[in-house]
Structure 1
Amino acid sequence: MTFSAIMTNSLSGLNAASLRAEVLSFNIANANTAGYARRSLSVAAAQPGGVRAVGIERAETGHLERQLLGAGTEQGGAEVRADALKQINAAFGEPGDPNGLYASFARFEQALADLRLTPESGSTQLAFLRAAQDVTGTFQQLDTEAQAMRLAADSAIATKVNRLNDALVELDNLNQQALRPRGVALETVAERQQALVSEIAAELDVNVNGTYGGRIELRTEGGLLLLGDEPQYLDFTAAGSASFELSYANGDFSGLTVGGYDITPGTLQGLKDGGLAAEFAVRDVIAQDYASRLDAAAAELAARSAIADGTSPDGLFVLSAGTSSAAQRLQVNAAADPAQGGQLFRVRDGMGAVIAGPSAGDGILGALKAELDNGRPLPAATGTSSALSYLETLGALGTELGTQALRAEGIREAARGARETFAREVGAQTGVDTDRELQELLLVEQAFAANARVIQTADEMLRQLLEI
């Protein structure tokens, strides 16, 4: 072997050892960086001799990473649904919650019992009227919160769509960067791509084609292109208001499109899961179902009070005219409210009473109590066909809402657990073991020293030959 070949081989070994040390140091420096995947130097034989660096490879586990993305999509949807149902359950209130509908109506029934004991008492009649107004006010407040939830979900969709479009633009820029010649270099383009894809996957179900660090392509689970040669923007228009009579089916709310194709959940190519699909579910299904249950309960209360009052077609609770929800239109009959020109004695004697009845008379109070205690099914509110008193109906509605919230919480915890499991498995196969990296650094140091010693020895031999 010639001196030139010896020097060339040893120099290439020095360069490879130096670059490998740089890769190992880069791994150690990023050992605690979220999502970082271990790098390794790929080398090959060089001509006429020695070695050359071919590239820097990033550890990957294709199937596990795909499963991790899918788990992220499931968790994204589960988080939104669980939060929404938890909010609904908290707003409606447990039986012991003094601000809940069940407690409000229980106070009304107690006021009814008190009035039956002293029907001649004007202060007790007024307390009874106030308790009834508290019930209608609670219904209205709950419906307002339900519509506010729908509007918040609509606004969240708009915010998420804007963020997803920004992420697609950034991914497109990274794709362009990946197409430019970069040689053998250490960079975190792949990690940034993966982080952006994970962010997108939490909101909608996507498939990834290509390798992180290079050019990637994104499609929805339905096959629609999100990112190819250029990004395809998601399009959504936020609503300005939400009320019971407004719905997506009637064209009052916007759907979601990409590249002109409709991907609104429920359509042929619609989103199946993820945070975006869940926000649509909150806006168009979950909050609307809750509002419909409240409406059924409000209409039932008006119907029961009308049956109990034999003096008028309407009872103590009535539904005012209009197109808004029954929960919003439920109010105390103006005929019994002095503030609206009514007569307070009518809470005892009936809405159609012209003059006050006997001061110690029970009036319609006994009939009202009997009708409220009467067992009647109301599946539109409770989800069950069981015959229940009105207070039991509210209790069953609260139980149904609590069950839904508990079930959603269980699904959320399961989704979190699944994603954490996949994340650990991916980390175990692609993460950095600093002990191993340090051991390899020692071996690299030895290889570097050996190649340096060969060059030093060859240099000494050449110097001695030149001195002869």
Structure 2
Amino acid sequence: MTLTRALGNANSGLAAASFRAEIAANNVANANTPGYVKRTVDVTESRLGGQSSGVTVAGVTRTNNPALTAERRQAEASAGRADIISQAFSELNRTLGEPDDTTGLFNSYQRFETALRELTVTPESPALQNALYGTTADVVSEFNSLYNKGQQMRIDADASIENAVTTVNTALKDIADLNQKIISLPDQSTEQAALLDERQLLVDQVSQFVPVKQLPAGDGAISLLTNEGVFLLSGQAREIEFTRTPFIGPGATYDNGAGVLSGLRVGDQDITPGSNGTFAVQSGLMAGYFAVRDEVAFDFLQQVDSLAADLVARFSDDSLDPTKAAGAAGIFTDNGGPVDPTNIDGIAQRMTLNAAVDPAQGGLVSRFRDGVGATTEGPAGDATIPANLLEAFNDRQPVPAGTGLTGTLSISEAVAGVTSLIGEERVRSDAVLSSARARAEILSDAEIAETAVDTDQELQSLLLIEQAYTANARVIQTINDMFNRLLEI
């Protein structure tokens, strides 16, 4: 080997060591940067004329595990859907209240029953008549609030879907732009590695809302399609279509496109979560929002409306109050009238006190004792009507289908049963969330262990790089001394 070739070899080693030091230092600097994965320098032997000619930096490799990343994304999407549903059931459970709570519908029922029972014992007491008025007003207010809560939850979920669609569509366009930039850069360059990190973060973002599969599309570009097989990105981004419904009326549904609510479409493909479509998205935050809008909150409103209709109907029975006009509403009304069996949706919101017993509407609290149709005060000690109302309250009757319950139950038993159903769903959704989160965390930790920067390891690498750099520098110094010696001869 000539001195010139030896000098070239040492120079190439020096350059490679310098580049490796740069990459190692960059790894350490970005150890906590979201989306950054460890880089390693690929060095190969350089040959010239069949002989070794030092080393060449072939490029920079990002440490990744596509299979593990795909699993982690799917697990996080499942956890995201479970989290949305769990939060919804927890919120509804708190709003409805437990049987032993000091607030909530069951508590309102208990106080109403107590006031009614006390009035049957002392029907002449104006204080007890006022107390019963207060508890009936509370029951009405509770139903109104429960309905508004469920309806607002549907409206909020619909708004969240709109925001999610905007986020996903923006991310898809950004990924398409990054694909073009990545294609234009040399393979395994530092610039390309940085763009690959940025793209991975965007794919993660999309997958949180709509789980996707990532496919290579040549020259470093990728395509994305949903787990169910609809392409969201293939060369160009395909827009997800959704139209928000600002006001969601009683009983509004999507109904596979036949209802008033909007679903999700990509071109002519229906990907609406919860629909009967072949390509319906099954997981991710988007699926969670749709589950709340079309299932969780919808079913809750059906249960609340069924309880409200049952209450109005029970106390509208003509046999309870002889002063009431036949077929008219009792002390509870559907917007002033009796229950219309064909129009149950939204009755919890429309429920009011009968104006005859409501002082705020010009009524008299004495009519709780004398009857809603009484034109004059009846006997002060007559507890017939309050006793009839109390019997209706405790009478076991077939429960409305919308409650999700079966059999014959009293009013209190029916509301306790619905409360238990909501509580059971909350516990079940919490368990699903816990399991999904645990799986997502395990996969995330496994991915981090494999792809994240280990600063201790990088510092050790820097020490080895320093040794290589020193050795190559020493070779250059030695060759320089030899050249100087030759010049002296």
TM bin (shorter chain): over 0.9
1:301 equivalent in structure 2: 311
Q: 1:438 — aligned with what?
A: 459
- Equivalent-residue separation in structure 2 for 1:383 and 1:269 (angstroms): 29
CA distance in structure 2 between the aligned counterparts of 1:343 and 1:363, rounded to whole angstroms: 18
* CA-CA distance at 1:342 after TM superposition: 4.0
Deviates more, 1:244-253 or 1:126-135: 244-253
1:246 corresponds to: 252
Equivalent residue number for residue 6 of structure 1:
6
Q: What is residue 318 of structure 1 aligned with on the other side? A: 333
Aligned residue for 1:150? 154
SS in 2 for 1:240: coil
- Return 5+ residue gaps in structure 2 as ranges: none
- The residue type equivalent to 1:199 in the other structure is Q
- Whether 2:91 is the aligned partner of 1:87: answer yes
Q: Which stretch of the first structure deviates more once superposed, 207-216 or 229-238?
A: 207-216
TM score, norm. by length of structure 1:
0.94
Query: Which residue of structure 2 lines up, in the alignment, with residue 257 of structure 1?
Result: 265
1:189–1:213 CA contact under 8 A, matched in 2? no
In structure 1, distance between residues paired with 2:396 and 2:431 = 33
Counterparts of 1:211 and 1:82 in 2: how far apart (Å)? 38
Compared CA separation, residues 224 and 381, structure 1 to 2 (3 A): closer
Using the alignment, how far apart are the partners of 2:124 and 2:416 within structure 1?
32
Partner Cα distance (2:75, 2:252) in 1: 34
Which one of the candidate residues 185, 189, 195 is aligned to 2:190? Answer: 185
8 Å Cα contact 1:204/1:274 also seen in 2: yes
Deviations 1:330-353 (A, max 9, x none): 222223334434444331133344
Q: What letter matches 1:460 in structure 2?
A: D
Letter in 2 for 1:94: E
1:216 equivalent to 2:222? Answer yes
Q: Distance in 2 between matches of 1:389 and 1:213?
A: 70
Note closer, same or farther for the CA distance 1:319–1:133 as it changes in structure 2 (3 Å cut): same
The alpha carbon displacement at 1:99 in A equals 3.5
Contact 2:217 2:223 in 1 (8 A): no
AA in 2 matched with 1:315: G
Aligned equivalents of 1:181 and 1:274: distance in 2?
Answer: 33
Contact 2:302/2:403 (8 A) holds in 1? no
Which segment is superposed worse, 146-155 or 87-96?
Answer: 87-96
In the alignment, the residues of structure 1 paired with residue 266 and residue 476 of structure 2 have an alpha-carbon distance, to the nearest angstrom, of 62
What residue ranges of structure 1 are gaps of 5+ in the alignment?
A: none
Residue 211 of structure 2 corresponds to 205
Question: How many residues of Structure 1 are paired with residues of Structure 2 in the alignment?
Answer: 468
Task: Answer whether contact 2:405 2:418 (CA < 8 A) is retained.
Answer: no
Residue deviations 1:161-183, cap 9 Å, x none? 11111211221222121011246
Range 178-187 or range 154-163, more displaced:
178-187
Does the CA-based 8 Å contact 2:303-2:404 persist in structure 1? no
Corresponding residue for 2:438?
Answer: 417
Distance, in Å, in 2 between the alignment partners of 1:21 and 1:364 is 92
| Paired residues of 1:238 and 1:254 also in contact (CA < 8 A) | yes
**Structure 2 CA distance for aligned equivalents of residues 27 and 439 of structure 1:** 13
Query: Does 2:468 align with 1:460?
Result: no
Aligned mate of 1:376, from 377, 394, 397: 397
After superposition, the CA RMSD in angstroms is 2.1
Alpha-carbon distance in structure 1 between the residues aligned to 2:404 and 2:234: 47
Asked whether the 8 Å contact 2:306–2:403 carries over to 1, the reply is no
Deviation at 1:230, TM superposition (A): 1.4
TM-score by length of structure 2 reads: 0.90
Displacement after TM superposition at 1:277 (Å): 1.2
Q: Deviations over 1:416-438 (max 9, x none)?
A: 11111101111111122222222
Q: Could you tell me how far 1:466 is from its partner in structure 2? A: 2.4
